[in-house]
Amino acid sequence: MSSISFDITIKAVILDIEGTVAPITFVKDVLFPYFLRAIPDTLSPLTYPIQSSSTNTIEAILSNFPSEVTESKESTFKHIEYLVKNDIKDSTLKSLQGFVWTAGYESGEIKAPLYDDAIAALHRWNEEGKKIFIYSSGSVKAQKLLFQYVNVNDKSVDFNGLLSGYFDITTSGYKFETTSYVNIIKDIQFSPEESLFLSDNVKEVSAALEAGLNSLIVVREGNAPLSEEDLKVSKTITSFDQISI
């Protein structure tokens, strides 16, 4: 297997999550369906109409929806289903999802499916003294949750101890923008030349390269196909085993 190396030793690796260390389908095929399945049982024990003064955590979250929505269990469910099906970004929905997914991870029903080569590389790089960071559009809170419950031989294993920092769009900016990578470089205190960003998204790779970082395109099963133009942006890898840093 040919190995990709760099001009100088890489000291910091910045990783995207979906399509890079975990299947791109995890959120769509696992997290979203889990949430919708869990919602009826989550809503059943609540008192309707939902009161904003409620001390119940779920009722307190739901009370941020318009009051006509939370009149009954049925109307609440309909509203949530509508937001999910139409992929509407809603902060109350996000809080509710965070709550439901946390419970799912804690009960062992959800485990994060990291690729074997990514798991091996996280251990290897850590032993070699490299610093590993995460940059994902999912919130830092969601990132930590995912890495807390990684599926290793059907057991949840906490990988957060191998990670040195987390970045999302609120800490650093949008992933297609060069300035976001400049911001991250400032925060991690490594030079762009000794940093490597890995992502399945060519626009993200392009922005990182523009900021002076090393960057490779990660090709995984189920990822969006790459065009001829995409392939000109950077080299591709199908496994982290192909990198020698």
199 is annotated as contributing to ligand binding: no
16 is annotated as contributing to ligand binding: yes
Measured from the CB atom, is 25 or 148 closer to Mg ion?
A: 25
Q: Is the backbone of residue 153 left (phi > 0), alpha (psi -120 to 50) or beta?
A: left
Q: Which two three-digit tokens encode residue 71?
A: 């009149």
Q: Which two three-digit tokens encode residue 100?
A: 């439901």
Identify which of 104, 121, 137 has the alpha carbon closest to the alpha carbon of residue 21: 121
Measured from the CB atom, is 16 or 194 closer to Mg ion?
A: 16
187 is annotated as contributing to ligand binding: no
Interface residues with Mg ion (CB under 5 A) are 16, 18-19, 200
* d(C-alpha 121, C-alpha 193), whole Å: 20
- Smallest gap from Cβ 27 to Mg ion, in A, equals 10
81 is annotated as contributing to ligand binding: no
136 is annotated as contributing to ligand binding: yes
Measured from the CB atom, is 70 or 214 closer to Mg ion?
A: 214
Measured from the CB atom, is 25 or 54 closer to Mg ion?
A: 25
Interacting residues of 107 by C-beta distance below 8 A, sequence separation 6+? none
186 is annotated as contributing to ligand binding: no
- Smallest gap from Cβ 104 to Mg ion, in A, equals 22
- Smallest gap from Cβ 136 to Mg ion, in A, equals 7
- Smallest gap from Cβ 21 to Mg ion, in A, equals 9
198, containing H or E segment? strand 195-199
Measured from the CB atom, is 194 or 200 closer to Mg ion?
A: 200
Residue whose beta carbon is closest to Mg ion: 19
> How does DSSP assign 9-65, residue by residue?
---EEEE--BTTTB-THIIIIIIHHHHHHHHHHHHTTS-SSPPTT--SHHHHHHTTS
- Smallest gap from Cβ 218 to Mg ion, in A, equals 8
- Smallest gap from Cβ 174 to Mg ion, in A, equals 13
* d(C-alpha 49, C-alpha 35), whole Å: 22
216, containing H or E segment? strand 214-218
Measured from the CB atom, is 92 or 201 closer to Mg ion?
A: 201
Q: Are 160 and 153 in contact (CB under 8 A)?
A: no
In the annotated binding site, the residues are 16, 18, 136-137, 175, 200
In the annotated binding site for substrate, the residues are 136-137, 175
In the annotated binding site for Mg(2+), the residues are 16, 18, 200
